[in-house]
Amino acid sequence: MSSAPTGGRSQAWLWTLVAAGFFSQTALNLVRPVTTYKLIDLGSDATVIGLVTAAYAILPVVTAMWLGRLTDRIPGLRAMVAIGAVTLGLGAAGLALAGSILWVAAASAVLGMGHLVFTIAGQSAIARFSPNDQLDKGFGWFTAAYAGGQIAGPLVAGLLLGGTSDAATGSRAGAITFSMWLGAGLALMVLPVMLPGIISSRAGTQGAAAEALRRRAAAQGAAADEADAGKPTMSAILRRPGIPSNMLASLALLAMLDILTAFLPLVGEAHGVSPAWIGILLAARGAGTIISRGFLPYLSRRIPRRTLLMLSLYGAGICLAVPALVIDLPWATLVLLFAGGIFLGLGQPLTMSLISEAVPRHWRGSALAVRLLGNRVGQVVMPMAAGVIAAPLGPAGAIWFSCAVLVGSGLQKSLARTR
């Protein structure tokens, strides 16, 4: 991606990134719901599942800012994308081999680190190579690839685990292990997509494309860069108007995805709903997300981003609070999760665009890293809190807690807008 095209030239770099995103997220969203079933088979309750879900974000919390600064300094990002995919594969392999809850937690932490490296490299490439009026398109397609993986991954998991909800069957244990290995293989499918670009970019890094990129960046960001000269420290980024509010929204949206993925299988297990049907329900959520992200460039040209973001927060918080109450009515649950996915899908790319535009161009990698750091803090704190809440209320309580945070973030934006 060091030789990403500029101006009217081909955007093959973006579609390469989209393809890599689909493979990596199919792997991730195959492995993560299956992890819940593995923990159930190991005798875990809702509190333990919440803690292991939080472990997924432990390593990213301490490395996100450093990785963001690294992406601002290095000219090419393809190798970093590939490294993230390999780390994802290692985490999935670790889960396949795990024989204890602690081992599952450690492998989940490696999985989370791989996801962070892949995501921050991909987002930084889009922020670097896309002009401001194309940010929604770039982030929209990149996150649409993520949503595609969020459809395919749970569907494959459900097919592999089958229609039984009986944790005692040996066949389910074998299917769980096979699912983890398949996830590792899918993550490694990113390599043939990305590695040819690394080879070609070595020859062209100092060439005409890089020079054109520098000229375009200078022309588009000169005024902001002169006004905001200095290092992109975390405190400086957080002082930019709108950054904390958009980080809260991003945190709430991503934590909702994690908690839904981790706790909906537990809700289904309590009601005798098979893993296959849970996979279909999670895929319906992903289908709603990919549809809304496909329409995002059209919507953002007609509706202010801030208004769309508030609609995302309120709509997702309301729609996703109901499925746990009606999970015994499969088709009603399917419709609600699909609708919730539509609203949920709008928010993440909007927060990326809003945060990217709120800082000078040469700060964007670091600003997106701060956003991801906030996301990962939320992915540690919220599953732990959700697990505690689920102890007296049941696993549905964890989902309701996340919905309350979404609506609260929407209220914060509404009040700020009124002021």
pTM of the model: 0.71
CATH level 2 (architecture), domain 12-200+231-414: Up-down Bundle (1.20)
Q: Specify the DSSP element, H or E, that contains 402.
A: helix 395-418
Most confident region among 50-54, 113-117, 212-216 by mean pLDDT: 113-117
Q: Give the mean pLDDT of 345-352.
A: 86
Q: Give the mean pLDDT of 365-373.
A: 79
Q: Are 405 and 252 in contact (CB under 8 A)?
A: yes
Cα distance between residue 279 and residue 268, in whole Å:
10
For residue 170, pLDDT over 70 is answered with no
For residue 83, pLDDT over 70 is answered with yes
Answer with the residue of higher pLDDT: 383 or 168.
Answer: 383
**Cα angle, residue 66 at apex, residues 65 and 67 outer, rounded to 5°:** 90
The pLDDT confidence band at residue 402, using thresholds 50, 70 and 90, is very high
| Dihedral (Cα; 334, 336, 338, 344), 10-degree rounding | -140
Q: Are 175 and 193 in contact (CB under 8 A)?
A: no
Distance linking the first and last C-alpha atoms of the chain: 42
Answer with the residue of higher pLDDT: 312 or 43.
Answer: 312
Cα distance between residue 387 and residue 288, in whole Å:
27
The pLDDT confidence band at residue 182, using thresholds 50, 70 and 90, is very high
Among 172-181, 232-241, 247-256, the range scoring the smallest mean pLDDT is 232-241
Q: Give the mean pLDDT of 235-248.
A: 86
For residue 218, pLDDT over 80 is answered with no
Q: Give the mean pLDDT of 393-415.
A: 90
| Residue closest to 271 by CA, chosen among 320, 329, 319, 321 | 329
Cα distance between residue 89 and residue 167, in whole Å:
26
Among 60-64, 158-162, 322-326, the range scoring the smallest mean pLDDT is 60-64
Q: Give the mean pLDDT of 97-108.
A: 93
- Residue 31's pLDDT is what? 93
